[in-house]
Amino acid sequence: MSESKSYDQLILGNSLEVILEEERRNTPVISEYQFQQEVLHILQNPFGQEALARYSMYVGELTKPLNVVANDNRENILFTVPALVQSPLTTIAYGSGMTAEQFMNSLSRDHELGGRGVIEKIRNFMMAMTQRPNYLQMVIYPIQQILARYGYQMTQLPGVEQQAVATRSLAADGVPATSFSDEYDD
C-alpha cells in the first residue's frame, strides 16, 4: 500500500532539500591545512582593504561564508567562517502588523488619492519588516572563537569596534535597527 503524501509534499516535493543542497554546493570550501596557512592570518585583521581583497579570493563575495573542512574528508565540515558582509534580516508581519499585500493595496489607494506621504509610508513599512543582524554576534564573536581555536586573536582596529557596536540589532530604545534608516534618505 502506498503512503499518502501531505499537501505540502505534493506541491513542494523535495524542493526544500534541493535548495539546501544547492546552498551547500555553492558555499566556498577550504581544507583546514590551507585555512591555517593562507586564511587564518587574514582573519586577525579582516577589515583592512588589502585583507578584504585577499579574503574575497577564497569566498568570491564577502556575503558568502567559508566552510573549513577536514584535510582528509571534504564532507566533514569543521566550522564555518561567517560572511563578513551580512544582509539585512527580513521579518514577517505579526499580530496587527500589515502584510505585504495589505501594504501594496494601501499604497495603491494612497497613489489614487494624490500620493502624499507615499515615500514616508514605504520607509516606515521597510523599517518595520527588516532589521540589521547583530554584527558582533554573527561575525566578530565567531571569528574570535575561530582564531582562539588556533591560539590567535583579532587585532584591534580603530573604528571597527565602534562600527560593530553601531550595527547592533537593537537600538538604545529597544527598537530594531534597520538598513532603512534616515542615513539613506536622499
The number of domains in the chain is 2
pLDDT value for 81: 96
70: in domain: yes
Maximum average pLDDT range among 14-23, 96-105, 137-146, 162-171: 137-146
Q: Are residues 56 and 144 in the same domain?
A: yes
32 and 75 housed in the same domain: yes
Dist CA 129 CA 68 (whole Å):
33
Residues 81 and 93 in one domain: no
3-state SS assignment for residue 89: strand
What pLDDT, on the 0 to 100 scale, is given for residue 29? 94
Residues 70 and 96 occupy one common structural domain: no
- Residues 95, 56, single domain; the answer is no
Q: Is 105 within the bounds of a domain?
A: yes
| Domain assignment of residue 104, yes or no | yes
Q: Is the pLDDT of residue 36 over 70?
A: yes
Same domain, yes or no, for 57 and 138? Answer: yes
- Other C-beta atoms closer than 10 Å to the C-beta of 127 total 17
Looking at the fold, whether 21 and 66 belong to one and the same domain comes out as: yes
Same-domain status, 143 and 76: yes
Torsion angle, alpha carbons of 161, 162, 163, 166, to 10: 120
- Distance (Å, whole) CA 25 – CA 8: 25
* Average pLDDT for the chain: 76
- pLDDT for the residue 167: 39
Q: C-alpha cell of 136?
A: 558582533
Task: Name the residue range of residue 99's domain.
Answer: 89-131
Q: What confidence score (pLDDT) does residue 170 get? A: 38
Same domain, 82 and 117: no
Span 73-115, pLDDT tens digits: 998 999 999 999 887 666 665 555 667 777 778 878 887 888 7
5 lies in a domain? no
For residue 54, being part of any structural domain is answered with yes
pLDDT for the residue 80:
96
Whether 173 has a pLDDT exceeding 50, the answer reads: no
Same domain, residue pair 63 and 17 = yes
Mean pLDDT of 46-60: 92
For residue 103, is it within any domain?
yes
Nearest in space to 156 (alpha carbons), one of 6, 1, 45, 16: 45
Closest CA relative to residue 177, chosen from 137, 125, 127? 127
Please indicate, yes or no, whether residues 58 and 139 belong to a single structural domain of this protein: yes
Q: Are residues 24 and 48 in the same domain?
A: yes
